[in-house]
Structure 1
Amino acid sequence: MKRFSVLAAAALLASTASLAASAAVLPPGTRVSATLGGDAQALSGFDPTLQDYVAGQAAPVLDGDIEFMSADATLGLDLDSSGLLRLWDNSGTGELGSRVIELSFADAGLRLARPTLSALTPLLSGSLQFELLSPQSVRLTLTDARTDTNFAYVDAQLALAPVPEPAPAALLALGLLGLALRRRIRR
């Protein structure tokens, strides 16, 4: 009985550890590149080593967020390691307009799910749609988007695609079956 309780505790710890490990969507150092309307020069990424925006280049995810700014400085995009994506009106007019933004992540092991729009999104009119282009890239399409206040932002959440894993109960049952077989072989 003592072995059973040790195995059950180990299975519970393993399932808890896998849930905690899935909290970060983007590992630190993940390279992200972005285009605005298909043009990499139209969206500049902040490079923390240069302390400046660099047109057409990717911005690394460090211990905080990454930041992109449109060439006309009217649209900003922030992304942090938890996958929170924020598009904000930097013009002060409340107009996000019609734009197509594509984000590509250089981590080949990354498997993204379709982004979800935050329930608190302050869009007054227009729409924001997401499309998963590949496991490492997404497209955001703004169509005549207008926010309810100046300098407002729209939040979305990137998430990892679920990895099919056996349930902890199935793992525990398999372990108990192995112990039973081992005991039977010993006899």
Structure 2
Amino acid sequence: MRDLIGTCIRCQKDIYCTDGFFNGITLESGNNLCLVCKDQDPFVEILNRLLEAEKSGVAVLDDLLKTYPSSGLEDSFVQVKEDESWSCQGLIHSIQREGGTVSKEIGDFIEKVRALPSLKEKLALLNKGQAWVARKIDEAISYGMDTRTRTFLLEMKKRHEQNIDKMEQHI
């Protein structure tokens, strides 16, 4: 016996219950995810790459605050760090909401920034990293997702764009 249960929110394929076995999972939002997307979900992969980058971003801002304590940019560094931390928390909730497993990894961006000799170069690379995050969010938005995840990602992108503008004044 095979009954149509619904459609996968990611790949849009039909999901069936076959002989009493549901060939998918139901997310907390009530949306369904097929077993193929559950095991190999490119959307969750993007969210985890973003999380790893944001964790590295927090470390970058910590480093900048310690290395340049009287640069006149402390308030800006603190604000960007708060946004990076906010993004980490939101990404963790989004990954869990979307049925994924949260990555424990941290990106290597901090090492790239540390390797640069001047504050101006570090800020320029920080802005490139912020722009990369905004582009990855655009990529992520193309997938089906819970409306709360979409709202969070759009706000995250907005904050990153604002932080780019804020740092651009100092480059």
TM over 0.5, yes or no?
no
Q: Whose relative contact order is higher, 1 or 2, with alpha carbons under 8 Å and at least 6 apart?
A: 2
Tell me the TM-score normalized by structure 1: 0.26
Tell me the TM-score normalized by structure 2: 0.28
- Name the larger-Rg structure: 1
